[in-house]
């Protein structure tokens, strides 16, 4: 059996006690560990210079883990220490999962599901508009751009649209009830045709476009079987789609048809059109999508046709993309689709609270400056600085207690942050001060440079007289950094004191480098 890996967690004073508790739960046969206290209070304010100057590696260290919000550059520190350096999770409670103790290593880079994204009103759009739309859908995760024709609506520029999309390197399908439009699209170079049945199947033998086969009527599975048999005998590629129907209009029966088709034809390519459920059910589409993509995963259906028309399905491409990656990873692990990230969680989080009320109280007791901190725990929203620690559940009710009536900018900032905190508490989501709430695949995540401090915002914290409240200079009176080994932990709930950390300042809660405020 190989020797356990020796991890070194670099942190600040405020987080050390909580980090010790979590590190003590790591299995000793896999990990030994040390905590390198950089001698600053807030780990997020550590810089490369502080870490290089103030941290010494213990003997036998094999890997260094930085706090997730530390702005230092891991590559630069790896060169300095001669050891691998990586950015760990944002929250200490997530450390065991980060280290692979959830029983698996999460890899969401792979999938086996092709997304056809339909432009339903393509016949009413110009070729240039269709190209712009197609490129946007592809950026979001679509693999094939589906040109949807409308009944009794001419599509004279169909060929131009197909050629324009193909010229941009996109895969194209034509989706129409008109055999004429399908024929024209195929001749223009479309890759797929949606849809052919046994009555229109001759077109499949006149083109290289791959047909998607459907039953003559949704309940006529025998007609789909006959179309499949003909394509199988000819040895030509195709997909089969038994047609997903809406709830109360054959939904359950249609699911059984997918299962039956897979039973009858174990190795064929299949498609599911998920729009009849996501579009025609007024429910948050992310959960509906996850369920349907899970069915596709079980039945080895490797193609979905999606529609993004209704406002409540505005993120359906991203949602299908997230779901296909989660389901692929879970299936590869022979596991439930749990523990594969937060992309399929929009309204609620599995572990919304990263600190207990007692831990927040201990942190509040160590604060020596007037800047307000905001945290959320199971009992509500905590607001604290050196003078006050108050808890509540109504964002607006905090105002009389915060002494910011003469500081409009700060009051504006706190109102926004506390409203966000109340939203998180009511929904059971994670809240982090000055960071956007995470909505999974339901909204784009903010992208930031994790090696640089946040820029100063539009508001600045100032005193009642309007003058800026300066912070303690960098590392002023900072305590000597130390290495904590297992068995040398502090008493539960205590946090050693150090003055304010680096030259950075907290401006309305944002970490801003020295000289930028």
Please check whether residue 438 lies inside any domain of the structure: no
Judge whether residue 68 has pLDDT over 50: yes
Q: To which H or E segment does residue 385 belong?
A: none
pLDDT value of residue 1: 60
Judge whether residue 301 has pLDDT over 90: yes
How many Å apart are CA 415 and CA 111, to the nearest integer?
42
If one counts the domains in the chain, the total is 3
Phi, psi of 503 (to 5 degrees): -70, -10
Judge whether residue 495 has pLDDT over 70: no
C-alpha 205: how far from chain center? 43
Q: In the block, which residue shows the tokens 């859908």? A: 137
Q: CA neighbours within 13 Å on the CB side: how many for 40?
A: 26
The domain spanning residue 171 has which CATH number? 3.20.20.20
pLDDT digits (tens, 9 = 90+) for 161-204: 999 999 999 999 999 989 999 999 999 999 999 999 999 999 99
The sign of the torsion formed by the CA atoms of 293, 295, 300, 305 equals: negative
Give the residue-averaged pLDDT of 407-428.
Answer: 96
Please check whether residue 118 lies inside any domain of the structure: yes
Give the residue-averaged pLDDT of 291-297.
Answer: 98
Q: Which domain holds residue 309?
A: 114-333
Whether residue 90 sits in one domain with residue 118: no
Whether residue 152 sits in one domain with residue 47: no
Please check whether residue 366 lies inside any domain of the structure: yes
pLDDT value of residue 39: 81
Question: Cis omega (within 30 of 0) on the bond before 320?
Answer: no
150-159: long-range contacts (C-beta < 8 A, 24 or more apart)? 150/120, 150/121, 150/123, 150/124, 151/177, 153/123, 153/124, 154/123, 155/122, 155/123, 155/181, 157/126, 157/127, 158/123, 158/184, 158/185, 158/188, 159/184, 159/185, 159/187, 159/188
Whether residue 219 sits in one domain with residue 83: no
pLDDT value of residue 466: 43
Whether residue 145 sits in one domain with residue 44: no
Whether residue 167 sits in one domain with residue 80: no
pLDDT value of residue 479: 55
pLDDT value of residue 171: 98
The mean pLDDT value of the chain amounts to: 87
pLDDT digits (tens, 9 = 90+) for 453-490: 555 555 444 444 444 344 444 344 445 556 666 666 44
Tell which wins on pLDDT, 77 or 497: 77
Whether residue 230 sits in one domain with residue 163: yes
pLDDT value of residue 454: 58
Please check whether residue 181 lies inside any domain of the structure: yes
Whether residue 246 sits in one domain with residue 176: yes
pLDDT value of residue 103: 61
Q: CA neighbours within 13 Å on the CB side: how many for 194?
A: 26
Whether residue 86 sits in one domain with residue 169: no
Whether residue 249 sits in one domain with residue 158: yes
- pLDDT band per the 50, 70, 90 thresholds, residue 66: very high
Closest CA to 441 of 226, 264, 272, 290: 290
Whether residue 131 sits in one domain with residue 17: no
pLDDT value of residue 457: 52
319 neighbors 140 (Cβ within 8 angstroms): no
Q: In the block, which residue shows the tokens 């999770």? A: 89
Q: Which of 82-96, 400-414, 433-447 has the highest mean pLDDT?
A: 400-414
Please check whether residue 286 lies inside any domain of the structure: yes
186 neighbors 209 (Cβ within 8 angstroms): yes
- pTM, two decimals, is 0.79
Q: In the block, which residue shows the tokens 């929009």? A: 346
Judge whether residue 315 has pLDDT over 70: yes
Give the residue-averaged pLDDT of 369-385.
Answer: 96
- Among residues 333, 348, 375, which one ends one of the domains? 333
Judge whether residue 100 has pLDDT over 50: yes
- pLDDT band per the 50, 70, 90 thresholds, residue 153: confident
pLDDT value of residue 207: 93
Whether residue 361 sits in one domain with residue 239: no
* Range in 20-34, 206-220, 255-269, 317-331 with the lowest mean pLDDT: 20-34
- pLDDT band per the 50, 70, 90 thresholds, residue 41: confident
Task: Measure the CA angle with vertex 109, ends 104 and 110; round to 5°.
Answer: 90
Judge whether residue 261 has pLDDT over 80: yes
Judge whether residue 500 has pLDDT over 60: no
Q: Which of 50-64, 72-86, 256-270, 433-447 has the highest mean pLDDT?
A: 256-270
pLDDT value of residue 149: 84
- Among residues 75, 99, 123, which one ends one of the domains? 99
- Among residues 380, 404, 427, which one ends one of the domains? 427
Q: Token pair of 88, please?
A: 């760990």
Judge whether residue 60 has pLDDT over 60: yes
Q: Token pair of 6, please?
A: 């020796």
pLDDT digits (tens, 9 = 90+) for 317-342: 999 999 999 999 999 988 899 888 88
Q: Token pair of 486, please?
A: 């297992």
pLDDT value of residue 47: 85
Whether residue 149 sits in one domain with residue 254: yes
- pLDDT band per the 50, 70, 90 thresholds, residue 102: low
pLDDT value of residue 473: 40
Judge whether residue 113 has pLDDT over 50: yes
pLDDT value of residue 14: 80
Judge whether residue 56 has pLDDT over 60: yes
């Amino acid at each position: 059996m190989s020797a356990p890996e020796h991890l070194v967690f670099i942190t600040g004073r405020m987080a050390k006690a909580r980090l010790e508790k979590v590190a003590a739960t790591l299995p000793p046969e896999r990990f030994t560990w040390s905590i390198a206290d950089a001698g600053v209070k807030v780990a997020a304010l550590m810089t490369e210079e502080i870490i290089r100057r103030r941290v010494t590696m213990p003997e036998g260290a094999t890997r260094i883990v930085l706090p997730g919000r530390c702005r230092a550059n891991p590559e630069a520190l790896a060169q300095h220490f001669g050891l691998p350096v990586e950015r760990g999770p944002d929250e200490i409670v997530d450390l065991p999962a980060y280290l692979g103790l959830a029983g698996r290593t999460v890899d969401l880079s792979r999938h086996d599901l092709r997304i056809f994204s339909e432009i339903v009103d393509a016949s009413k759009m110009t070729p240039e508009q269709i190209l712009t739309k197609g490129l946007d859908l592809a950026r979001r995760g679509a693999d094939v751009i589906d040109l949807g024709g409308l009944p009794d609506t001419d599509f004279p520029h169909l060929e131009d649209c197909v050629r324009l999309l193909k010229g941009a390197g996109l895969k194209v399908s034509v989706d129409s009830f008109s055999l004429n439009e399908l024929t024209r699209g195929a001749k223009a170079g479309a890759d797929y045709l949606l849809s052919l049945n046994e009555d229109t199947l001759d077109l499949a033998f006149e083109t290289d476009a791959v047909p998607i086969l459907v039953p003559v009527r949704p309940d006529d599975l025998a007609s789909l079987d006959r179309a499949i048999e003909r394509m199988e005998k000819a040895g030509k590629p195709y997909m089969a789609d038994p047609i997903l129907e809406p709830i109360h209009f054959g939904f359950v029966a249609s699911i059984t048809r997918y299962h039956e088709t897979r039973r009858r034809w174990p190795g064929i390519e299949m498609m599911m059109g998920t729009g009849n459920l996501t579009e025609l059910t007024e429910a948050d589409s992310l959960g509906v999508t996850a369920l349907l993509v899970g069915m596709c995963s079980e039945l080895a259906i490797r193609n979905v046709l999606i529609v993004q028309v209704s406002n409540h399905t505005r993120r359906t491409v991203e949602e299908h993309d997230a779901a296909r990656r989660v389901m692929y990873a879970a299936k590869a692990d022979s596991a439930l689709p749990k523990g594969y990230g937060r992309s399929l969680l929009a309204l609620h989080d599995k572990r919304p609270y990263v600190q207990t009320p007692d831990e927040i109280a201990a942190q509040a007791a160590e604060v020596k400056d007037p800047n307000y901190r905001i945290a959320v725990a199971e009992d509500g929203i905590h607001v604290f600085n050196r003078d006050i620690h108050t808890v509540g559940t109504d964002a607006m009710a905090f105002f009389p207690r915060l002494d910011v009536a003469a500081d409009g900018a700060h009051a504006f900032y706190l109102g926004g942050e506390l409203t966000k905190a109340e939203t998180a508490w009511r929904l059971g989501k994670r809240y982090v001060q000055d960071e956007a709430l995470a909505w999974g695949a339901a909204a784009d995540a903010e992208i930031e440079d994790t090696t640089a401090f946040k820029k100063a915002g539009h508001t600045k914290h100032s005193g009642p007289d309007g003058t800026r409240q300066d912070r303690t200079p960098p590392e002023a009176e900072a305590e000597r950094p130390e290495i904590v080994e297992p068995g040398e932990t502090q008493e539960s709930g205590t946090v050693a004191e150090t003055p304010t950390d680096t030259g950075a300042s907290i401006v309305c809660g944002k970490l801003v480098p020295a000289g930028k405020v």
